[in-house]
Amino acid sequence: MSDQHSHRARAALAQMGDADPAIAALALWCSHRDHENDTETNGDTILYGPSFTQLSLPEQIGLAAHHVLHVALRHSARQAEMATRLGRGFKPTLYTLAADAIVNEALLAGGHALPRPAVRAKELIDLLPGLDTVAPNILADWDTDRLYHALAAPLEGDPSQGTPAIDEYMRKRRFAPDLTSKGAFETQSDVWASRVDQALELGRSAGVGIGPALLRFGDLPCSTVPWERHLRRLLLKAVSEVPRLSYKRPAMRWVAQEAQARAGGAPVPAFQPGLARDLTRPRIVIAVDTSSSVTDTQLDLFAAEILGIQRRSAAELHLLGFDTALHSQTRLESADALNRLALRRGGGTDFTPVFDACQRLDPSLLIVLTDLDAPLPAAPRHAVIWAVPAPVPRPPAFGTVLVMAR
């Protein structure tokens, strides 16, 4: 790859200002280089391959705009972040497919020409089973991460089975991934969000391109904190050691005051207890509502975070499986024990057996993975985290709600 500015993209970038002022403004923040493979985006660098020059000028402009949006929407960084979160369960080809489909939908709305056959978000959503395909504005209601999760959802609950229609769609469209996340590049979402906002406003003023077409765009860069980090903070707060008053040891200040009083013949001050470590081992109870819509991927991520906290805090960890009754109760000592668990699915929901079991265990924290579709019992003495797969219209009367969206 050459360190010099791309020669192949020079004509397309020169015409970009007239075709789409918003994309032209964003292109100024991208690095444009030539290389000998297919055209692709890596971080904030667009690499133009030899086949780029074989396209017509409108298609060159459209393809360059496609990759400029990949950079501006932080798709390489978001792909790397998603791979870190999901580990071996991450499917990079499907993430690139989702990113390409969203970008192409935006460019077609802005009047750009794209090399055919181009993948589209609308066509992919129509292929997904169980989804409401009547979307008034796909670009406002969908983003790359949401589309990826929909594409990667296991077929009938089997993680090894994908949706055959998606594979056939990629084959017919001759889809090839054009997004990588190798090396170091700028990833600040707030910086790119500001650039995109300014560029779209410029495009609206000019009245051409994606600016006036994208009045609401759901894939804009945004600073979001993954729910795993919220969970980590709540868990650490619950199991962190808090010094307690102990009358078995005096406060250092009292020791100094007592010595000074005895040396001067003054009255000895009243005893002041000191602080001692709480040697009680914290206990965490995780209750999984097996009738809820918590996915296997969310459960895996949740378990990984909890086991990480367990290792750092030496917490005692218990797992309860329930629907209308408590059907499993296991003490977890390691990740291997979690992998051997078999939780039944289906049935109704009743929280009473779980809270009754927690009264006997007396935990520091109870975490309930549920959709909250059942009456709540009375508030317990211990802390409660309600982990829900989607926002709930009415929050519970007690506890902290953690939305496991995405």
Once rounded to an integer, what is the mean pLDDT over residues 42-59?
Answer: 94
Between residues 241 and 21, which one has the greater pLDDT? 21
Between residues 11 and 349, which one has the greater pLDDT? 11
Distance CA 142, CA 234 (A): 29
Q: Give the list of residues 6+ apart from residue 291 with CB closer than 8 angstroms, or none.
A: 323, 345, 346, 347, 348, 349
Distance CA 270, CA 257 (A): 10
Distance CA 90, CA 86 (A): 5
pLDDT at 103 (0 to 100):
95
Q: List, in sequence order, every residue forming a beta bridge with 384; answer none if it has no partner.
A: 366
Please state, in angstroms and as integers, the Cα–Cα distance from residue 99 to each residue in 61, 103, 121, 387, following that order: 18, 6, 9, 28
pLDDT level of residue 15 (50, 70, 90 thresholds)? very high
Residue type, 249: R
- Residues 229, 232, 237, 241, CA torsion sign: negative
pLDDT at 154 (0 to 100):
72
pLDDT at 1 (0 to 100):
59
Between residues 230 and 96, which one has the greater pLDDT? 96
Q: Give the list of residues 6+ apart from residue 176 with CB closer than 8 angstroms, or none.
A: 38
Kindly tell me if the per-residue pLDDT of 186 is higher than 70: no
What φ, ψ does residue 200 adopt, rounded to 5°? -65, -35
Which three-class secondary structure string do you get for the chain? CCCCCCCCCHHHHHHHHHHCHHHHHHHCCCEEEECCCCCEEECCEEEECHHHHHCCHHHHHHHHHHHHHHHHCCHHHHHHHHHHHHHHHCCHHHHHHHHHHHHHHHHHHCCCCCCCCCCCHHHHHHHCCCCCCCCCCHHHHCCHHHHHHHHHCCECCECCCCCHHHHHHHHHCCCCCCEECCCCCCCCHHHHHHHHHHHHHHHHHHCCCHHHHCCCCCCCCCCCCCHHHHHHHHHHHHHCCCCEEEEEEECHHHHHHHHHHHHHCCCCCCCCEEEECCCCCCEEEEEEECCCCCCHHHHHHHHHHHHHHHHHHCCEEEEEEECCCEEEEEEECCHHHHHCCCCCCCCCCCCHHHHHHHHHHCCCEEEEECCCCCCCCCCCCCEEEEEECCCCCCCCCCCEEEECCC
pLDDT at 88 (0 to 100):
80
pLDDT level of residue 340 (50, 70, 90 thresholds)? very low
Specify the residue for token string 């402009």.
Answer: 61
Q: How far apart are the first and last CA of the chain?
A: 36
pTM for the full predicted model: 0.64
Cis bond upstream, residue 117 (ω within 30): yes
Kindly tell me if the per-residue pLDDT of 224 is higher than 60: no
pLDDT tens digits along 268-309: 888 888 876 554 567 888 888 877 666 666 666 666 666 666
Specify the residue for token string 């979307």.
Answer: 135
Kindly tell me if the per-residue pLDDT of 227 is higher than 90: no
- Two structure tokens written together for 229: 């980090």
Kindly tell me if the per-residue pLDDT of 326 is higher than 70: yes
Kindly tell me if the per-residue pLDDT of 98 is higher than 90: yes
Between residues 106 and 345, which one has the greater pLDDT? 106
Residue type, 74: R
Distance CA 36, CA 190 (A): 33
Once rounded to an integer, what is the mean pLDDT over residues 367-388?
Answer: 87
Rounded (10°) CA dihedral 115, 119, 122, 126: 140
Please state, in angstroms and as integers, the Cα–Cα distance from residue 93 to each residue in 144, 183, 264, 307, following that order: 13, 19, 80, 29
Kindly tell me if the per-residue pLDDT of 85 is higher than 90: no
pLDDT at 54 (0 to 100):
95
